[in-house]
Amino acid sequence: MPWKRRAFGGRGCARALTVADLREVARRRVPGFVFEYVEGGAEDEATLRHNREALASLRFVPQTLTETLGRSLETQLFGRAATAPLVIAPTGLNGMLHPEGDIGLARAAAAFGIPYTLSTLSTTSLEEVAKAGGRLWMQLYVMKNRSIAEDIMARAAQAGYEALVFTSDANVFGSREWDKRNYVRPGKPRLPAALDALRHPRWLVEVLLRNGMPRFRNIEAFLPPGAASAVGGSTIIPQMFEPTIAWTDIAWIRRHWPGKLLIKGVLSVEDAKRAADAGCDGIVLSNHGGRQLDYCVAPIEVLGEIAAAVGDRLTIVVDSGFRRGSDIAKALALGAHAVMLGRATLYGLAADGERGVRRTLEMLTGELDRILGQLGCRSVADLGPSLLR
């Protein structure tokens, strides 16, 4: 029997060799409906699968007989040094995965010298996360009540967040059919899902009994009584999203946000140019990890043309489907300045909190460093499209 089938918790994390290994540890540690919240995609999950297929279709063309001693993963993001071209992506409800939740992710990112992006729908307040230190970015959803976004932006600026990541592709929710299979209605698991939770006593004790049901801490002041919890909020929050956000809203955001501004959800050259013309500082090429529009293009497929069009005007970040250092190298070679990690770091969090996230980052940066050497490069700046087919 392979080790990963015996692995559990911290010991399993320490012995994990790949993100896939950590995924297995995470799958066994949390109830099925919690794991599917992380894992699932929209509708037929064609986008979810295609993200990986598009990355796998690219092949390296290495240089040989080049000096690669003293390799470095260090890069610059918005004029500041980062020890690796990585950013931890914004994800909500992290407190359902592990009691350390957002704090574990933020501390791991700080330890590695990379930014962490906190979700509007986090289960830890942005002020509490700020105490963890490090480089912090704040993700923003715009809701019908615009005072919610104004409050988030004011508080994030006051707490020292460096950048705002405006998510533009989720205000019309995707159809995540795994949700309907696991829940009678939003926030109420079906009986089999609830019984499965009893098979995970460690999760029950650590996540629910010791800390209580996670709550949407950043926006709880704007929710009706009883709706701030993960159970109550999941029913009402989708109804609060503003479906009519448009490019004119960028000027409104700019009036309230003094720091760096990125738009997350860009997938075309035309939209990338609009972002630059609107005064944005960066973009995140993303299809929301396959959780929104099914049969959508993979970000890696459009990265090269977008980088050629606006790479000298915007910081380009890309996400969706990244599981290996080789995936990261491919994105950098095509013109990305950094890669955002979502599920990969959540597997680590679910497996063993901050230690699990650190293990994810250790593995990916180790793989990326090795790939650099094998490609004949000494730094991430040496990566270019000539190294890919």
Each domain of the chain, given as residue ranges in start order, spans 3-176+239-387
Local mean pLDDT, 10-residue blocks, the chain (389 residues): 40 86 96 93 97 98 96 97 98 96 98 98 97 96 95 98 96 81 74 89 92 91 82 77 91 97 98 98 98 97 98 98 98 98 98 97 98 98 98
Q: What is the DSSP secondary structure assignment for residue 313, as one 8-state letter?
A: T
Considering only CA atoms, which of 176, 195, 192 is closest in space to residue 45?
Answer: 176
Beta bridge partner(s), residue 80: 77
Q: What span, in angstroms and rounded, lies between the C-alpha atoms of 96 and 214?
A: 7
What pLDDT shows up at residue 232? 67
What pLDDT shows up at residue 212? 86
Considering only CA atoms, which of 369, 359, 366, 368 is closest in space to residue 23?
Answer: 359
Q: Are 357 and 105 in contact (CB under 8 A)?
A: yes
Q: What span, in angstroms and rounded, lies between the C-alpha atoms of 125 and 127?
A: 5
Phi–psi pair at 60, nearest 5 degrees: -85, 150
What pLDDT shows up at residue 200? 94
Considering only CA atoms, which of 18, 30, 17 is closest in space to residue 352?
Answer: 30
What pLDDT shows up at residue 11? 60
Q: Are 282 and 313 in contact (CB under 8 A)?
A: no
Q: Which residues contact 119 (CB under 8 A, 6 or more apart)?
A: 90, 91, 92, 94, 102, 139
What are the C-alpha distances in Å from 282 to residues 86, 307, 315?
14, 11, 4
Q: What span, in angstroms and rounded, lies between the C-alpha atoms of 71 and 260?
A: 29
**Roughly how many angstroms between the first and final C-alpha of the chain, as a whole number?**
38
Q: Which residues contact 246 (CB under 8 A, 6 or more apart)?
A: none
What pLDDT shows up at residue 268? 98
Q: Is 381 helix (H, G, I), strand (E, B) or coil?
A: helix
Burial class (CB in 10 A: 0-12, 13-18, 19+), 129: buried
Q: What span, in angstroms and rounded, lies between the C-alpha atoms of 138 and 150?
A: 13
Q: Are 230 and 134 in contact (CB under 8 A)?
A: no
Beta bridge partner(s), residue 188: 185
Structure tokens at 188: 């109420």
What pLDDT shows up at residue 8? 41
Q: What span, in angstroms and rounded, lies between the C-alpha atoms of 340 and 27?
A: 22
3-176+239-387: what fold? TIM Barrel (3.20.20)
Structure tokens at 80: 């500041």
Q: What is the pTM of this model?
A: 0.95
Q: What span, in angstroms and rounded, lies between the C-alpha atoms of 56 and 125?
A: 37
Q: What is the DSSP secondary structure assignment for residue 219, as one 8-state letter?
A: T
What are the C-alpha distances in Å from 168 to residues 25, 119, 155, 303, 320?
32, 13, 21, 18, 15
- Residues belonging to the active site: 288
